[in-house]
Amino acid sequence: MSHTTDLPAWVALIVAFLLVLGSGLTLLGAIGLVRFQSFYERVHAPTLGTTWGAGAILIASIICFSVLQSRPVLHEVLITIFVVVTTPVTLMLLARAALYRDRTEGTPGVPQFEAAGEPGAERPGTSD
């Protein structure tokens, strides 16, 4: 635990604040994942953890290593970009899969297929 004492107090405070903020938001998202009633509500919950949750912890990591090594350490930016780009893709695919399954099973409360006679109406997975 020697390196953490090398940090100036104000840097330690900022890093501590960002860490608690990020992990708190991630936990809130996970609680939402448990609490919400339907799948379409649950899809919203993990985005809390992947926007500000991951963002705050990654900024904390960037600040901590940049001050410790007294040079800009920016490789955490790669994870940030990666998480920002990939999370919407996975959630979108998952939501579309759920919509497709609910429609084929005829679950009530789900928007039905669009009116017939247009391409892609039969298989909503191809309508992009």
Partner 1 sequence: MSGVILILALTLSQMLLVAAMACAIWRLVRGPRAQDRVLGLDALYVAAMLVLLTFGIRTGSTTYFEAALVIALLGFVSTVALAKFLMRGEVIE
Partner 2 sequence: MNRWLPYPVLTASLVVMWLLLNRFSLGHLILGSIIALGASQAMSALQPAQPRVRRWDMIPRLIWVVFVDICHSNIAVAGIILKGRRRQRDSGFVTIPLELRDRTGLAVLACIVTSTPGTAWLEYHSANGRLLIHVLDLVNEQDWIDTVKRYESLLMEIFE
Q: Kindly give the residue spans of alpha helices, DSSP state H, lying in 37-75.
A: 39-42, 45-48, 54-68
- In the complex, least distance from residue 35 CB atom to partner 1, rounded to whole angstroms: 9
- Residue 23 contacts which entry, partner 1, partner 2, none (Cβ below 5-8 A, type-dependent): partner 1
Closest to 53 (Cα-Cα) out of 33, 74, 73, 67: 33
Q: How much helix, strand and coil, in percent to the nearest 5, is found in the chain?
A: 70, 0, 30
Residue 19 interacting partner from partner 1, partner 2, none (CB closer than 5 to 8 Å by kind): partner 1
Strand, coil or helix: 121: coil
Torsion 115-121-124-127 (CA) sign: negative
Task: Pick the binder of partner 1 from 34, 70, 112, 117 (CB under 8 A).
Answer: 34
121 part of the interface to partner 1, by CB under 8 A: no
* Residue selected from 52, 66, 77, 98 as contacting partner 1 according to rule CB under 8 A: 98
Q: 17 in helix, strand or coil?
A: helix
Q: How near is the Cβ of 17 to partner 1 at its closest, in Å?
A: 8
Residue 52 interacts with partner 1 (CB under 8 A): yes or no: no
The residue type at 46? P
Contacts for 39 with CB less than 8 Å, ≥ 6 apart: 98
- Write out the residues near partner 1 by the rule CB under 8 A: 1, 3-5, 7-9, 11-13, 15-17, 19-20, 22-24, 26-27, 29-31, 33-34, 39, 42-43, 45-46, 49-50, 53-54, 57-58, 60-61, 64-65, 68, 73, 75-76, 78-79, 82-83, 86-87, 89-91, 93-94, 96-98, 100-101, 104-105, 125
